[in-house]
């Protein structure tokens, strides 16, 4: 009876919440107060697929849901991205009958990496994808090893781990487990022999802390590594990006399936590979997955194309306090051969909590914006002075840089008769302040 | 002038390296020629060669690796500090200068014993905060961020007074340590860029004269914005 009532109330709250445009955490929060172990009382589908990691989880989950749905499976997933236990509870109860049976072939859960241990105390994933562990929101996350330790508590025996072999910290979860599925990239044409990054989180082995060596870097510390002391090394992969052609915007998986990319970023290819891996495990044919991922445009608002007067541009939503997210966006702009202007906005460091910390700017490889095809760099927002100081520690000449405290004025400045494409790099917390000035596609 | 950036790849978690960039720049702008040596695990270091020593913050695991390595230099480092040479250690790096560090599992590691304090870590809650500190040697307060999992007891003398944020342990209104020209604080990241007046103070100690500070326009403006944001926050709390 308690279970029935909890589910009913959650559904009603969810319905009401949707009407007034509220988020999806609250109903789950109420449900957990009414019945703390409600999640363990539910009848769950055969497949419970969880995705976690610092970056790419929302996009990966969206892609998995897209492929599975396209292939006739019903998927219950947290579309709104509420990824702590409350949001997951709303998802599970909202997708269930009043008797407590989840009406879907697959339960697909995006999970916050620090709080996964609470959620998965009640729901044990059958499959658990870990995408990467980066320096991400360190003002509340501490550091990547701190997050690793929190995440380790969420992994139980009997769960099929699906790990990014190219991330040394993530791969370490596969130590002393024999049933791991690995995905990753072969040496790619976009790789570098030397590290391209301000810092090196792959300098030391995550297992024994002796120095590591890389035979190739895909980006930052993601690549093919080997510890010089304990032998810990990048694992062979079952699902593999065998080549990429960033000029043509194509990636090939397992040497056979070529996918045309809607967004030419290395991030995007990893997200596609994770989605491919999961869909393959569920039993979808590789050719079908590749067709579903071909030119796939994410619907989660991370990439927005727009017009500003006569000019065209793309906003690459990046995460403040996450240098690799910024590095990826900067790479996309730096690879735009026809020439472009770049706008970077830091106005509120976070939308969810207060902090005024700008240390993370020093972990971003802004030097990459020094390439000749980047014509103008516009810096804007409340923290424009800090951006200006950060850029003073690059070799980029002052003449290329314009500063505006006001985002409005920065947008007005860019609304000129220049013909260059515009890339806007900023965070969820600040993107709306620019988007009001443009016409979105 | 010679700067030693020690454990540059191991203890560099929050853009800490930029403190060295900032010190190099102010010294160069003040007319000095500057060499920066980046050294790490197992490498030979002769402290007596250097005018300024910097170590940044690391993960708990990395700090232990650095500490194990640093023990071979314990006497040389103590001598460096006793001689009144300039050292800045930010984040958990200064914890290595105490008597002991006890981790969350209860294992105790010997520190270098420059100071008498003891450090105790836990692994449940990350303790973080935006902070405002004051001290008797700077007219303006310091701004910054603390990101740690430890409590530090028995610090004397301390470096800063807490106006907002975290001290050496829960409820403590004092932060960091200081002896002679050795400064230790749990402030993380580019402390000397966020606080141009602190940079100028340390540079003056090195130079024995007023450093060039005219170029620090954006640094000063950035500091003012952060101080005003944090003060507003402090008032609201």
Residue ranges of domains in chain A, CATH in brackets = 2-293 (3.40.1190.10), 303-440 (3.90.190.20)
Beta carbons of A78 and A61 less than 8 angstroms apart: yes
- A141: exposed, middle or buried (C-beta count within 10 Å: 0-12, 13-18, 19+)? buried
Beta carbons of A139 and B145 less than 8 Å apart: yes
Q: Is the dihedral of CA A290, A296, A299, A301 positive or negative?
A: positive
Q: Give the span between the Cα atoms of B49 and A333, in whole angstroms.
A: 44
Q: Which chain B residue is nearest to residue A388, measuring alpha carbons?
A: B218
Question: In a 10 Å sphere around its CB, with 0-12 CB exposed, 13-18 middle and 19+ buried, how is residue A387 labelled?
Answer: buried
Instruction: Return the pLDDT at A426.
Output: 95
Across the interface, whether the CB atoms of B18 and A393 are under 8 A apart is answered yes
Give the three-class secondary structure for A100.
Answer: coil
Quick check: B198 pLDDT over 80?
yes
Domain extent, residue B97, equals 2-236
In this structure, what CATH number is given to the domain that contains residue B189?
3.40.50.880
Alpha carbon distance A187, A214 (integer Å) = 11
Q: Where are the alpha helices (DSSP H) in A20-136?
A: 26-34, 57-70, 85-94, 116-119
Dist CA A401 CA A377 (whole Å): 5
d(CA A242, CA A259): 12
The percent of residues above 90 in pLDDT, for chain B, comes to 97
To the nearest whole Å, the CA of B83 is away from the closest chain A CA by: 32
Return the C-alpha torsion angle A103, A106, A110, A114, nearest 10: 100
Close Cβ partners of B95 (under 8 Å, ≥ 6 residues apart):
B63, B101, B111, B119, B150, B152
> What pLDDT does A228 receive?
97
In 10 A of CB A339, how many CB atoms?
A: 14
Query: Rounded distance, CA A101 to CA A88, Å?
Result: 15
What does the pLDDT average to over B183-195? 98
How many domains, chain B?
1
* The pLDDT value given to residue A218: 97
CA–CA distance, A98 with A25 (Å, rounded to integer): 20
pLDDT confidence of residue A201: 96
Mean pLDDT of B156-185: 95
Contact across the interface for A145 and B60, Cβ inside 8 Å: yes
Q: CB under 8 Å, gap of 24 or more: what pairs does A32-35 form?
A: A32/A85, A32/A86, A32/A89, A34/A2, A34/A5, A34/A6, A34/A9, A35/A2, A35/A3, A35/A6
B58 neighbors B93 (Cβ within 8 angstroms): yes
Query: In this complex, which of A200, A204, A360 lies closest to B15 when CB atoms are compared?
Result: A360
Q: What's the CA gap between A409 and A165, in Å, rounded?
A: 45
- Cite the DSSP H helix spans in A213-314: 266-282, 286-293
Please tell me whether residue A408 adopts helix, strand or coil conformation.
helix
Please give the backbone phi and psi of residue A313, each rounded to the nearest 5 degrees, phi first: -165, 175
> The tokens 């990239």 sit on which residue?
A185
In Å, what is the CA distance from A160 to each residue of A74, A152, A278?
21, 14, 11
User: What whole-number distance in Å separates Cα of residue A287 and Cα of residue A382?
Assistant: 48
B10 inside 8 A of chain A by CB: yes
Binary contact (B130, A149; C-beta < 8 A): no
pLDDT at A302: 86
**pLDDT at res. A49:** 97
Q: What residues contact residue A176 under an 8 Å CB cut-off, 6+ apart?
A: none
Whether B52 has its CB under 8 Å from any CB of chain A: the answer is no
Smallest CA–CA distance, residue A157 to chain B, in Å, is 23
Q: Do A359 and B149 touch (CB under 8 A)?
A: no
Contacts of B230 in chain A (CB under 8 A): 356
- In this predicted structure, what is the pLDDT of residue A176? 84
Q: Does A193 touch chain B (CB under 8 A)?
A: no
- Relative to beta strand A250-253, strand A127-130 is unpaired
β-pairing, A340-345 with A421-426? parallel
For the segment B111-139, the average pLDDT, to the nearest whole number, is: 96
Given a cut of 90, whether residue B51 has pLDDT beyond it is yes
Q: Choose among A76, A93, A96: nearest CA to A85.
A: A93
Q: Point out the residues of chain A with pLDDT beneath 50.
A: none
- A285 has a chain B CB within 8 A of its CB: no
User: Closest chain B residue to A202 measured between Cα atoms?
Assistant: B9
Residues 6+ apart with CB under 8 A from B235: none
Please give the pLDDT value at position A136.
Answer: 94
Residue A137: name the closest of A9, A270, A319 by CA. A319
């Amino acid at each position: 009876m308690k279970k029935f009532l909890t589910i009913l109330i959650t559904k009603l709250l969810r319905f009401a919440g949707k009407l007034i445009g509220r988020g999806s955490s609250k109903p789950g929060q109420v449900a957990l107060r009414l019945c703390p172990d409600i999640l363990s009382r539910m009848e769950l589908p055969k497949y419970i697929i969880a995705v976690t990691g610092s970056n790419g989880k929302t996009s990966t989950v969206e892609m998995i849901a897209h492929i599975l749905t396209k292939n006739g499976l019903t998927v219950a997933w947290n579309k709104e991205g509420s990824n702590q236990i409350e949001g997951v509870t709303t998802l599970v109860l909202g997708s269930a009958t009043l008797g407590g049976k989840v009406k879907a072939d697959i339960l697909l859960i995006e999970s916050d990496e620090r709080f996964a241990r609470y959620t998965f105390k009640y729901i044990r994933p059958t499959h658990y994808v870990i995408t990467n562990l980066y320096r991400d929101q360190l003002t509340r996350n501490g550091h990547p090893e701190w997050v690793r330790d929190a995440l380790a508590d969420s992994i139980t025996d009997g769960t099929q781990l699906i790990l990014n072999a190219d991330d040394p910290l993530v791969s370490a979860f596969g130590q002393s487990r024999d049933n791991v599925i690995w995905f990753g990239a072969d040496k790619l044409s976009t790789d570098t022999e030397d590290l391209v990054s301000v810092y090196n989180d792959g300098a030391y082995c995550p297992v024994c802390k002796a120095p590591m060596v890389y035979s190739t870097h895909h980006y930052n510390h993601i690549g093919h590594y080997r510890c010089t002391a304990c032998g810990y090394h990048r694992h062979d992969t079952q699902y593999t990006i065998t080549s990429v052609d960033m000029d043509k915007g194509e990636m090939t998986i397992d040497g056979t399936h070529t996918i045309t990319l809607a967004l030419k970023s290395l991030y995007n290819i990893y997200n596609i590979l994770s989605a491919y891996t999961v869909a393959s495990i569920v039993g979808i044919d590789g050719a079908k997955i590749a067709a579903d991922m071909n030119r796939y445009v994410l619907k989660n608002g991370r990439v927005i194309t727009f017009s500003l007067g006569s000019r065209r541009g793309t906003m690459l939503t990046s995460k403040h306090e996450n240098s690799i997210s910024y590095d990826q966006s900067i790479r996309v702009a730096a690879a735009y051969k026809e020439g472009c202007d770049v706008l970077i906005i830091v106005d509120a460091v976070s939308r969810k909590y207060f902090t005024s910390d700008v240390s993370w700017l020093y972990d971003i490889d802004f030097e990459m914006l020094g390439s000749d095809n980047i014509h103008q760099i516009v810096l804007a927002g409340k923290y424009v002075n800090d951006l200006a100081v950060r850029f003073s520690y690059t070799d980029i000449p002052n003449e290329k840089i314009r500063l505006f405290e006001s985002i409005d004025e920065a947008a007005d400045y860019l609304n000129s008769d220049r013909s260059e494409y515009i890339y806007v790099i900023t965070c969820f917390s600040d993107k709306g302040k620019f988007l009001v000035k443009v016409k979105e596609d | 002038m010679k700067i030693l950036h020690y454990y540059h790849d191991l203890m560099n978690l929050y853009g800490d390296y930029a403190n060295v960039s900032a010190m190099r720049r102010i010294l160069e702008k003040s007319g000095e020629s500057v060499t920066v040596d980046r050294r790490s695990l197992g490498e030979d270091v002769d402290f007596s060669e250097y005018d300024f020593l910097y170590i940044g913050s690391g993960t708990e695991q990395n700090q232990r690796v650095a500490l194990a390595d640093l023990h071979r230099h314990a006497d040389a480092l103590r001598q460096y500090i006793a001689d009144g040479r300039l050292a800045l250690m930010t984040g958990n790096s200064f914890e290595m200068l105490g008597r002991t560090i006890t981790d969350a599992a209860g294992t105790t590691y010997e520190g270098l014993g420059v100071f008498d304090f003891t450090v105790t870590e836990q692994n449940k809650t990350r303790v973080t905060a935006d902070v405002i500190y004051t001290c008797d040697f700077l007219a303006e307060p310091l701004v910054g961020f603390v990101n740690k999992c430890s409590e530090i007891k028995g610090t004397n003398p301390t470096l800063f007074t807490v106006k907002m944020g975290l001290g050496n342990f829960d409820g403590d209104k004092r932060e960091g340590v200081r002896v002679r020209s050795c400064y230790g604080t749990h402030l993380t990241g580019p402390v000397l860029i966020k606080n141009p007046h602190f940079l100028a103070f340390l540079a003056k100690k090195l130079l024995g004269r007023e450093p060039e500070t005219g170029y620090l326009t954006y640094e000063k403006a950035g500091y003012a914005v952060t101080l005003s944001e944090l003060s507003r926050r402090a008032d609201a709390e």
